[in-house]
């Protein structure tokens, strides 16, 4: 096949990004080769450079365009839940075994943060921007401060959930892995769900 129409080109580009989005989460950026990616898309690797200037540029674009839809899938149920059930809706969507077992379909942050931290690149900037958008959406779902009165509750919840998925995937013992997820789910549910505020004021630190 020699060439396709302009609308086909736009479609091809989206196919590449869709496959890259999953392949990157499954194997890391370093684990995704352009020839393998293009083979999965169903084209030869030469075409890649008709769509992107470089692998690096494509990764940056994947982060810029594809992270939000994952966040959307994770937070939308919470956003349409009643105030009282929002935190549990986030926890149910994030800290479950299916999410743990399918990194290719799941949140970018546990999977890719380690690799991203090593780069100084356009991709890193896009990743950081996506993280900020995630924090903002999460903040709208979580009570302004937790039961003990801390601020930045969304940062605590975001890193707690990311760390739980991260370690639950790293551990090779399924029983321990399940315990990590359920311990964190129960813990954050109790702490972050609005209820009567705690009578004990947070102790001053140091």
Partner DNA sequence: TGTACATCAGTGAACGCGCGTTCACTGATGTAC
Q: Using CB under 8 A, list all residues that contact a second copy.
A: 26-28, 30-31, 88, 103, 109-118, 124-125, 127-128, 131-132, 135, 146, 148, 150-153, 155-156, 158-164, 166-173, 176, 179-180, 183-187, 189-191, 193, 195-196, 198-200, 202-203, 205-206
We find the least distance from the C-beta atom of residue 61 to a second copy, in angstroms, to be: 17
DSSP 90: H
We find the least distance from the C-beta atom of residue 69 to DNA, in angstroms, to be: 22
Q: Considering only the stretches 34-42, 64-72, 85-93, 150-158, report the one whose residues sit in contact with DNA under the rule CB under 7 A.
A: 34-42
Residue 33 CA to residue 39 CA, distance in Å, equals 10
1 sits near DNA (criterion: CB under 7 A): yes
Q: How many chain residues touch DNA (CB under 7 A)?
A: 27
Q: Which is nearer to DNA, 35 or 114 (CB)?
A: 35
Residue 130 CA to residue 127 CA, distance in Å, equals 5
Number of residues assigned to the chain = 206
Q: Which is nearer to DNA, 75 or 116 (CB)?
A: 116
Residues 6+ apart with CB under 8 A from 135: 154, 155, 158
Coil, helix or strand for 200? coil
We find the least distance from the C-beta atom of residue 81 to a second copy, in angstroms, to be: 13
The rounded radius of gyration (Å) of the Cα atoms in the chain is 20
Q: Look-up: residue for tokens 């086909």? A: 8
Question: Half-sphere exposure of residue 34, counting CA atoms within 13 Å on the CB side?
Answer: 16
Q: Considering only the stretches 37-45, 68-76, 99-107, 139-147, report the one whose residues sit in contact with DNA under the rule CB under 7 A.
A: 37-45
């Amino acid at each position: 096949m020699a060439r396709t129409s302009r609308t086909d080109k736009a479609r091809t580009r989206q196919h590449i990004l869709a496959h890259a989005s999953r392949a990157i989460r499954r194997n890391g950026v370093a684990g995704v080769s352009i020839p393998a990616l293009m083979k999965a898309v169903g084209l030869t690797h030469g075409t890649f450079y008709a769509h992107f200037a470089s692998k690096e540029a494509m990764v940056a674009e994947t982060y810029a365009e594809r992270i939000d839809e994952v966040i959307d899938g994770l937070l939308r149920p919470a956003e349409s839940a009643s105030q009282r059930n929002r935190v549990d809706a986030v926890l149910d969507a994030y800290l479950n075994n299916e999410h743990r077992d399918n990194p290719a379909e799941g949140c970018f942050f546990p999977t890719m943060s380690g690799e991203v931290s090593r780069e100084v690149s356009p991709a890193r900037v896009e990743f950081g921007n996506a993280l900020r958008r995630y924090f903002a959406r999460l903040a709208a779902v979580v009570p302004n401060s937790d039961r003990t009165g801390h601020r930045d509750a969304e940062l605590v919840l975001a890193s707690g959930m990311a760390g739980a998925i991260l370690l639950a995937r790293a551990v090779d013992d399924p029983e321990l892995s399940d315990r990590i997820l359920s311990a964190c789910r129960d813990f954050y549910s109790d702490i972050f769900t609005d209820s009567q505020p705690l009578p004990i004021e947070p102790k001053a630190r140091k």
